[in-house]
Every structure is written in structure tokens, then in C-alpha cells.
């Protein structure tokens, strides 16, 4: 066992001391959004209390302070993901926005008959933008099938790769099951086929510190709100050569060099992709969230969360008729399960009355549910501020719900 002072970490999160429906909150919906530590809340309050101003265009001091803080946050994100250049970090409104930005860009690079490859394990936000792009271009969308244990059928993937393949986009970690994909292998084989890779890191980023240069990945996307940051802000990392090739996604202020009715020219990176006044405060708070998580340390976070995962998995599997989906070896702290034929929504509603927050439903990953032929699951997802005591409370509540519903 290693030193992990969860009790003092919990004190950083004001929401964890509140009651819900008369019971102490047990927050196990971290895969949907994480909670926010005081340090991040303070960065938001500080911004609006002291230096709220528009960035990049003001000569006045407040504008300069806000610009500096925003650009410092970009550098924090750059360092965190080990990007080679700060202009390879594009602020977005989140993962969904980042994927749409890239899909829109590829629409002008692809032709009829080109192929792009997705996996059966994706969140809808890494499926639908590409389907829309295929409708515009005539490109073909191929799907890597999944296996019973929630992993990808890698042999089938190798068979899908061809000279026609232009882009492969898969998640680093599945939000529905928590399974970690073999991204190094995916990147290597895709590059051998001469295509690019986009990794959806929305679920990985809270648990795994991805090194985009070591991975040699072409695009990596994530959302701040799953990493102890605020909603409405996220990141697109793109290799410089790719970001230069892609056209802008949205037009407006900030993203131009010169504008006239005869001809407008675009700004360089990263501004080409950052039209309009951005989520300035959100970007700064994203930087504060990354600082906070790094101050705890991703290795410690991963080791502690793994203990929680093992503990909860073992306890839940003692419940008769309980089935966990996607029991692969490589998992982050997510447990997706059902009990017999009980509807997941009923379990979720009953345990909510006891102060426990879990997600129920298809988790925006309907193809995964279709694979298991189920309407949805109960998903409990843990973070480094959760405890074994909370898992005990949760398991007892699930048993109680089962008794009431059987």
C-alpha cells in the first residue's frame, strides 16, 4: 500500500460534504462529469473578481492580465500532454466540439471512396460527426467490432486497414465500460497504412496522463469537466502539420489576419481555430484543474482508483445475478452492470433516494448496448476522491434495491 491521503483530498471538494435526499452524497458519476476542487473554484472567482476582460486585443492592463493567464493555461495543457508546441493546443468547448472541428476539416480533404475507421465502442460524439462528414464527402465509415470482454477485435481492425484508409478515430478509454484500448498498437498499424489517428481522450484524461509525442498520435481531444475543471471548455491537440492542413471550422473575430470583401486571410495557429471570444475563465480554470491533478500525481491517482475498482468489482460480483459488462484486464475505474432483468433506471432511482449518484442508460454508446442486447446499464464510475466506505454504502444500497425490485 502507498501513501494516499484521501481524507485530506476530500476536503478540497466542497460538494462532497453535502447531503442528498437526507444522506451524505456518494458521487459515483465521475465518468459523466467530475467534481470541482476549491482550488479550481478559486481560480474562477479570482478571474471574475479581479481581471475579467476580453483577451488578445486590449491594450489595457486587465486585458493583458487575462491574456497572460489564458495563454499560460494553454502552456500548462501543452506541458501536461507533452505537446511539442503550444500552438498545437487548440482551446475548444469540449471533446464534442473538438471532434466536430476535425471532422469538418477532413470533409475538405477526403474524397468519395476514401475510408475512415471508427470502433464499436465509441461515444456518439465520436460517431455522428463522422457520419455527417461521410454524407458530405462520400467517404466510407468502417467499424472495428468489439468482443465480449469490452475490448476491440484487433485482427478485424488490421483487416480493415488498407490504402484507402485515411483516418482512424477511437477512444483511449470507453465511457460505457471503462476498458482501455491498445492505442499504441492502433497508432503504429494505422501509420504503417499511411493514415492518421484521432484519439478521443475524454475518459482517459482523468486517469491517464497521455504523452502525445511518445504516442505519436495525430489528434488527441479531451474535456476539462471530466478532469476537475469546468464545463464548456476542452482541448484539441493536433500535430502542427495536420492543423496547418485543416481549414478553419468557424469564421469570426480572432481567427483572421486581414478581412476585406475581396479577400480574407486567416490567422496562424492556434488562432485559426479559435473564432470569437473564447471561454476565457474556463480555459484558465482548466489550467488550474490540471495543476491540481498533477499536484496529486497521475500515478498515485491511477493506483488508488485501481484499488477502488478491484474492491467494488469483487463486492458487486458477490450479488447474485449481477453481471458486469466489459471485464477486460485493462480498465479505468468504471463498472457497468445489470442485475437479472431489472431495469437499470429502477436501480438508479432507488439508490438516488439514498444519496448515491450513478448513471443509468445507454451512456451515449448505443452500439455497445446493442452488442450486449440490453437497453442500458447501471454505471458506477470512481474518482480519486472516492473511498471504500462509499463503495460499502453503495453495495448495500444496490442489494436493497435488488430486494425491492425482485
DSSP, residue by residue, 235-275: EEEE-HHHHHHSPPSS-SSSSEEE--SS--EE--TTGGG--
Taking the least distance from each CB to ligand PMP, the nearer of 31 and 401 is 31
# of chain residues touching ligand PMP (CB under 6 A): 14
The piece of 36-44, 200-208, 306-314, 350-358 that touches ligand PMP (CB under 6 A) is: 200-208
Instruction: Tell me the C-alpha distance between 314 and 276, whole Å.
Output: 50
Residue of the chain from 43, 95, 119, 381 that contacts ligand PMP (CB under 6 A): 95
Q: DSSP label at 169?
A: E
179 makes contact with ligand PMP (CB under 6 A): no
Helix/strand/coil for 356: strand
364 is catalytic: yes
In angstroms, what is the C-alpha Rg of the chain?
22
Residue 123 binding ligand PMP, by CB under 6 A: yes
CB of 341 to ligand PMP, least distance (A): 27
> Which of these ranges, 83-91, 196-204, 270-278, 354-362, lies near ligand PMP under the rule CB under 6 A?
196-204
Range 349-368, binding ligand PMP (CB under 6 A)? 364
Does 200 contact ligand PMP by CB under 6 A?
A: yes
DSSP letters, 87-137, are GGEEEESSHHHHHHHHHHHHHTT--TT-EEEEETT--GGGTHHHHHHHHHH
Which sign does the torsion angle of CA 233, 235, 240, 246 carry?
Answer: negative
Stated as kind and residue range, the H or E segment containing 302 is: helix 298-317
Segment near ligand PMP (CB under 6 A); pick from 69-77, 133-141, 195-203, 283-291? 195-203
| Region 23-62 residues binding ligand PMP, contact defined as CB under 6 A | none
Nearer to ligand PMP, 34 or 67 (CB): 34
Which residues make up the interface to ligand PMP (CB under 6 A)?
94-96, 123, 125-126, 171, 175, 200, 202-203, 223, 225, 364
Amino acid at each position: 500500500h502507498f501513501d494516499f491521503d484521501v481524507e485530506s483530498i476530500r476536503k478540497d471538494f466542497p460538494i462532497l460534504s453535502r447531503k442528498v435526499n437526507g444522506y451524505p452524497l456518494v458521487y459515483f458519476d465521475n465518468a459523466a462529469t467530475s467534481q470541482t476542487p476549491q482550488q479550481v473554484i478559486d481560480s474562477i472567482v479570482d478571474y471574475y473578481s479581479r481581471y475579467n476582460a476580453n483577451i488578445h486585443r486590449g491594450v489595457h492592463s486587465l486585458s493583458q492580465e487575462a491574456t497572460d493567464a489564458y495563454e499560460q493555461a494553454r502552456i500548462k495543457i501543452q506541458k501536461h500532454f507533452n505537446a511539442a508546441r503550444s500552438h498545437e493546443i487548440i482551446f475548444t468547448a469540449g471533446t464534442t466540439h473538438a471532434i466536430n472541428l476535425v471532422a469538418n476539416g477532413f470533409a475538405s480533404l477526403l474524397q468519395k471512396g476514401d475510408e475512415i475507421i471508427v470502433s464499436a465502442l465509441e461515444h456518439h460524439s465520436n460517431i455522428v460527426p463522422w457520419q455527417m462528414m461521410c454524407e458530405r464527402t462520400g467517404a466510407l465509415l468502417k467499424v472495428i467490432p468489439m468482443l465480449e470482454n469490452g475490448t476491440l477485435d484487433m485482427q478485424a481492425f488490421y483487416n480493415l486497414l488498407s490504402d484507402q484508409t485515411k483516418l482512424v478515430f477511437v477512444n483511449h478509454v470507453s465511457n460505457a465500460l471503462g476498458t482501455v484500448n491498445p492505442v499504441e498498437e492502433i497508432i503504429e498499424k494505422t501509420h504503417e497504412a499511411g493514415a492518421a489517428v484521432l484519439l478521443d481522450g475524454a475518459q482517459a484524461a482523468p486517469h491517464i496522463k497521455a504523452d502525445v509525442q511518445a504516442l505519436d498520435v495525430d489528434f488527441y481531444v479531451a474535456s476539462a469537466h471530466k478532469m476537475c475543471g469546468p464545463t464548456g471548455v476542452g482541448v484539441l491537440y493536433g500535430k502542427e502539420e495536420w492543423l496547418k492542413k485543416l481549414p478553419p471550422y468557424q469564421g469570426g473575430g480572432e481567427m483572421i489576419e486581414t478581412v476585406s470583401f475581396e479577400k480574407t486571410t486567416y490567422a496562424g495557429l492556434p488562432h485559426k481555430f479559435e473564432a470569437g471570444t473564447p471561454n476565457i475563465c474556463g480555459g484558465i480554470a482548466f489550467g488550474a484543474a490540471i495543476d491540481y491533478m498533477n499536484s496529486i500525481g497521475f500515478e498515485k491517482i491511477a493506483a488508488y482508483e485501481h484499488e477502488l475498482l478491484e474492491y467494488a468489482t469483487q463486492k458487486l460480483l458477490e450479488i447474485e445475478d449481477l453481471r458486469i459488462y466489459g471485464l477486460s484486464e485493462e480498465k479505468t475505474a468504471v463498472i457497468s452492470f445489470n442485475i437479472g432483468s431489472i431495469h437499470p433506471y429502477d436501480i438508479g432511482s432507488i439508490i438516488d433516494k439514498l444519496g448515491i449518484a450513478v448513471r443509468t442508460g445507454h451512456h451515449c454508446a448505443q452500439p455497445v448496448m446493442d452488442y450486449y442486447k440490453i437497453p442500458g446499464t447501471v454505471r458506477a464510475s470512481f474518482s480519486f476522491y472516492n473511498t471504500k466506505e462509499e463503495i460499502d454504502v453503495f453495495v448495500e444500497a444496490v442489494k436493497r434495491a435488488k430486494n425491492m425490485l425482485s
